[in-house]
A = this chain, B = another copy of it.
Amino acid sequence: MRRRNLSVVLGAVAAHGPLTRPLSRADVAARVGLTRAAVSSLVDELIGRGALTEAETAPDGRVGRPGRALSVSDRGPAGLGLEIGVTHLGACVVDLRGEPRVWRRAERANAGRPAGQVLAEIAALAAEAEAEARDLGLRVEGRVLAVPGVVPNEAVGRIERAPNLDWRSVGVADHWPDQDTVPEPENEANLGALAEYWNAEQAEETFVHVSAEAGIGAALVIDGQLFRGVRGFAGELGHIPVYPDGVRCACGARGCLEQYAGQAAVLREAGLEQHGRQGDPVALLAERAGAGHAPTLAALDRAGRALGLALASAVDLIDPDGLVLGGIYAELAEWLLPSVRAELADRVRVRPWAPEALRPSALGRRGPVLGAAQTTIRRIMADPTLLPAG
């Protein structure tokens, strides 16, 4: 009960959002419907645990004495998000307000490299990010690692398969240098979808979020909850057969979406495979498309058509409120949206479907690592006793 009330009080302060006027203990009591004495005791505990701060405010003129204003702490408890991409490593630290305070990103060709080597490198990046966070007065309370692979529901800390890295059954702890800081792996598409739900101004309650990097993943949020499927494999959009007799995929099947709308396929179709090896291939695609480069425009149109076909199946099966294009697709949305929307309009005929129900994510490629970092914050907000008592 007290645990729940701690969460309610912390949530009320967080919901106050951008400070229009100072929020007092009495204000919080009025909002949450508890007595002022009960709220004061809860606030004291939350201050002790480092979740809230209380500052003197300047007298506001009307009342002669200074007030005291509560806010969610921007020092103390923090969440670390890590990400292993096919072509990069990333780290992010968010404070208890959910605000990113530290970002790290390093380009790395991770495909086919041994898991131990990559995990040692991301551990080093994590240590750097934690050190920088410490300098800001932040203390990392939880660590989550976004990976481009499946993380089964039943296996703790194990990446079952990451096809684009060519990894199978990798236990993260087995390769982590410091057993006190081992992160919990989670599928990057799942984390991207959660980040969208937590951060979008008007997030749908039931939506399909597509999160493309080198591979294509998707995740289903149903009634505000991530739907992981029976084994944790739900949302495997990249291997939906869009053209059954089409191109052979690395997975062994033919005509998978990834062979038409994956980053490598788009670069190849645009004739930019060589150029793509230096610098940021997504920036390159955007630049060429913006300049009217016909093969790039054709490749993006083809990708959008294939994506529209796969998403038509998702709409038919799941009946979501919306579809969100995240990851690299968010940055290429200008050229993808028209063809994806056209394909959806052609395919979804029995039931109503509005073109605007498909939208790009505002987070783009930062989604998964941000979601990884915010996972810890969400857990603390739901149960502040996870924080050490002051």
Chain A: residues with CB nearer than 8 A to chain B? Answer: 150, 161, 163, 205-206, 218, 220, 222, 227-237, 239-244, 249, 251-254, 309-310, 312-314, 316-321, 346-352
Q: Which residues of B contact A220 (CB under 8 A)?
A: 317-318
How many monomers of this chain does the complex have?
2
Q: Which residues of B contact A161 (CB under 8 A)?
A: 350-351
Q: Is the interface of A mostly helix, strand, loop or mixed?
A: loop
Q: Are B313 and A233 in contact (CB under 8 A)?
A: no
Q: Are B228 and A319 in contact (CB under 8 A)?
A: yes
Q: Which residues of B contact A349 (CB under 8 A)?
A: 239, 249, 251-253
CB < 8 Å neighbour of A234 from B227, B252, B319: B319
A244 to B257, CA, bound (A): 13
Q: Which residues of B contact A252 (CB under 8 A)?
A: 349
A235 to B351, CA, bound (A): 12
Q: Are A241 and B163 in contact (CB under 8 A)?
A: no
A346 to B316, CA, bound (A): 23
Given A350-B163, A351-B236, the answer on whether A318 and B253 have CB atoms closer than 8 Å is no
Given A230-B206, A309-B244, A313-B313, the answer on whether A350 and B319 have CB atoms closer than 8 Å is no
Given pairs A233-B319, A236-B317, A241-B347, 11 additional interface contacts (CB within 8 A)? A150-B351, A161-B350, A205-B230, A231-B352, A234-B318, A236-B350, A237-B317, A239-B348, A244-B309, A317-B317, A318-B318
Query: Can you name the residue of chain B whose Cβ is closest to the Cβ of A235?
Result: B317
CB < 8 Å neighbour of A319 from B230, B240, B243, B249: B230
Q: Which of A321, A350, A351 has the most CB of B within 10 A?
A: A350
Q: Are B150 and A229 in contact (CB under 8 A)?
A: no
Q: Which residues of B contact A317 (CB under 8 A)?
A: 218, 220, 234-237, 240, 313-314, 317-318
Q: Are B206 and A347 in contact (CB under 8 A)?
A: no
A233 to B348, CA, bound (A): 12
Q: Which of A234, A243, A252 has the most CB of B within 10 A?
A: A234
Question: When A and B form their complex, which 7 residue pairs have the shortest distance between CB atoms, in order from nearest?
Answer: A229-B319, A234-B319, A236-B316, A251-B349, A233-B319, A313-B313, A233-B351
A322 to chain B, nearest CB (A): 9
Q: Are A319 and B231 in contact (CB under 8 A)?
A: yes
Q: Which residues of B contact A346 (CB under 8 A)?
A: 253-254
Q: Are B316 and A237 in contact (CB under 8 A)?
A: yes
Q: Which residues of B contact A231 (CB under 8 A)?
A: 319, 351-352
A210 to chain B, nearest CB (A): 12
Query: Can you name the residue of chain B whose Cβ is closest to the Cβ of A258?
Result: B350
A134 to B347, CA, bound (A): 48
Q: Which residues of B contact A227 (CB under 8 A)?
A: 222
A to B CB contacts below 8 Å, 24 in the list:
A150-B351, A205-B230, A220-B318, A228-B319, A229-B318, A229-B319, A229-B320, A230-B320, A232-B319, A234-B318, A235-B317, A235-B319, A236-B316, A236-B317, A237-B316, A237-B317, A239-B316, A239-B349, A244-B309, A249-B349, A251-B350, A253-B347, A253-B349, A318-B318
